[in-house]
Structure 1
Amino acid sequence: MNSTAFEYFRTAASLVFTPQCFDNYFFDFNYLDVPCFKSSLSKALGLLIILGSLTVRVPQIVKIYNNQSGKGINIVAVTLDLSAITIYMAYSFIKGFPFSAWGDATFLAVQTVIVGALVLYYESSQTKAISYLLGYLVVCYVMLSGLTPLNVLWSLQTFNILLVIFGKLTQAWTNYNNGHTGQLSAITLFMLLGGSVARIFTSMQETGDNVVIMTYISSASANFVLVLQLWWYWNVDIKEKSE
């Protein structure tokens, strides 16, 4: 491999390996370095989660659009979920955490606000859907532009644990009352569960922030409840239940 090609390879590898770990693996052939293994695994998982987050809610969006319905999706639960994602995104951005540790939140936020707007569009009105989108853009500007002090963002991140739990369980309660999971997408729920479980490890490795770690533990637990409900109500006829 010539020097130019090697430099390109080293640059690409830096997405996963720190300079020290790169040298350990590719120069010293030391494959038993535990700290390097944990660090590289965390960065690799982070990248996979970010790639997955590009489409994680797309099946949900497509399902709502194809059925022209947001039936069974609790807009309060969606908004609480969106709030938790946005708080974490703003907190991580202002704190300067590595993008691999929180980048998925950016793509999740975009897709979640689209879900919320579609639910309002089909179940309420076009005006409410547009207002929802515009209101969210204003909130993002205030939280990400530096107008919101870091200590306020830290307090909000602490509150995030309750937001995550309450938001997911609100949807779980809606599912229970309806006797079905409505337009919830199985693919989306499984991807969210897998992502939140993986984020527990990456947060421990890359941020060391106990509040962030506890947030993802709470998110994984609540997502697991929704996945269980999906399995429980799998064969329920939504139209029959609605009647």
Structure 2
Amino acid sequence: MKINLNILLVFAIIIVIAESKFSFINNSEYFLPLKILLFDHPVCLRKMHTVQGIKDPECQQILLTKMIGAIIIIFASFLKLPQIMKIITNKSVAGVSLKSILAETLLLSFAIGVNRWKGNPISVYGEQYLLYLQNLVIAGLFYFYDKKQDQIKLISIVIGQFMIAAIFFLKFLPDQIYTFSSLINIAVLFYSRMTQISLNYKNKSTGQIAGLSLLLELIGTIIRSWTILQEAKLDLIVYVALVNANVLIIILAFQMIYYWNSKENDKFKGNPVKTNRDKYLEQLAQIEQEEMQALQRELNGQQEAEQKLEKIISEGKQQLKEKGKKKTE
């Protein structure tokens, strides 16, 4: 597919001009960003070194794909930070599915292992390393903010995730396992997303899921799908995986929009979930308040009784005075 991009052309011309003007660049055989982006395409690297070679449509497409891949990897560093900060700020993981997070982490382990096994360039899957680490951080936050979780079990699961990842990353397994794990990826992603989707539907809310994180993930999924179609080794499993990933993230984005103003969602927006201790203290304060109100009513009753008694005594004295006057007369 031919891509004529004026911006890309200007960018490349600036690189060439910079190489000719600045000695620290001119001393190097090729400009460093081009070296990084096109390190696995030496032919295009040589062509892009000249203004004439910049016009090559095939190399334009490769460079564009590499640039987008690099941008995705950079933004992946911040993708789930809004989610992490929201949990820490609210001191709550309400509405976030631990099963979904752990399943997605396992999926990333498989995906990284398969990409390494296939020999795909790092620009195709580099962000998966960063997402893997951020998911582990979110899983770790359940240890602090969800006391219902079995903490020993949670730690064991996280350690198990590390061990599985190490085995897949280091390519210790036979080729058949990596082929089969490609199918597992699709099933695990489907389970991971559907767990969160069903939880949202049940709660009629997206809970502590950060809208910014979801939006970035949606954009990243769509753009990454395009770069995979350009660079990765394609087969039927890859096409099915791309459709699966895009459809499910679009459903989650639709739920975020649909439940945005729901009353149930308001329970999670900016309000920490109350612990049993908080509820007990609230009940105790309410009882104390009711007792104070009852005591105040009792005091008010006593004051009214005293006022009535004083009135009766006053009236009695007045009557006695009047009778005394009549007798003297």
Instruction: Note whether the superposition's TM-score is higher than 0.5.
Output: yes
Say if 2:172 is the partner of 1:147.
yes
- The residue that corresponds to 1:173 in the other structure is 198
After superposing the two structures, state which structure 1 stretch, 196-205 or 143-152, moved more. 143-152
Q: Residues 105 and 161 of structure 2 are in contact (CA less than 8 Å); yes or no, is this contact kept in structure 1? A: no
Partner AA of 1:229 in structure 2: Q
Structure 2 SS opposite 1:194: helix
Q: Residues 186 and 244 of structure 2 are in contact (CA less than 8 Å); yes or no, is this contact kept in structure 1? A: yes
Equivalent-residue separation in structure 2 for 1:113 and 1:213 (angstroms): 28
Q: Residues 118 and 129 of structure 1 are in contact (CA less than 8 Å); yes or no, is this contact kept in structure 2? A: no
Q: Which runs of 5+ in 1 are unaligned?
A: none
Q: Residues 117 and 132 of structure 1 are in contact (CA less than 8 Å); yes or no, is this contact kept in structure 2? A: no
Equivalent-residue separation in structure 2 for 1:138 and 1:19 (angstroms): 36
Equivalent-residue separation in structure 1 for 2:90 and 2:254 (angstroms): 24
Q: Residues 60 and 185 of structure 1 are in contact (CA less than 8 Å); yes or no, is this contact kept in structure 2? A: yes
Equivalent-residue separation in structure 2 for 1:21 and 1:145 (angstroms): 30
Q: Residues 90 and 144 of structure 1 are in contact (CA less than 8 Å); yes or no, is this contact kept in structure 2? A: yes
Partner AA of 1:160 in structure 2: N
Structure 1 length-normalised TM: 0.89
Equivalent-residue separation in structure 1 for 2:82 and 2:222 (angstroms): 20
After superposing the two structures, state which structure 1 stretch, 23-32 or 155-164, moved more. 23-32
Equivalent-residue separation in structure 2 for 1:170 and 1:130 (angstroms): 21
Partner AA of 2:105 in structure 1: L
What is the Cα deviation at residue 86 of structure 1?
1.2
Structure 1 SS opposite 2:88: helix
Structure ranking higher on relative contact order (CA contacts 8 Å, 6+ apart) = 1
- The residue that corresponds to 1:113 in the other structure is 136
Deviations 1:113-151 (A, max 9, x none): 221222354222443442232121111122222322222
Q: 1:31 to 1:5 in 2, by over 3 A?
A: closer
Say if 2:79 is the partner of 1:56.
yes
Structure 2 length-normalised TM: 0.68
After superposing the two structures, state which structure 1 stretch, 185-194 or 232-241, moved more. 232-241
- The residue that corresponds to 1:90 in the other structure is 113
- The residue that corresponds to 2:214 in the other structure is 189
What is the Cα deviation at residue 87 of structure 1?
0.5
After superposing the two structures, state which structure 1 stretch, 172-181 or 93-102, moved more. 93-102
Q: 1:19 to 1:147 in 2, by over 3 A?
A: closer
- The residue that corresponds to 2:17 in the other structure is none
What is the Cα deviation at residue 213 of structure 1?
4.2
After superposing the two structures, state which structure 1 stretch, 14-23 or 111-120, moved more. 14-23
Partner AA of 1:39 in structure 2: I
What is the Cα deviation at residue 229 of structure 1?
0.5
Aligned residues: 243
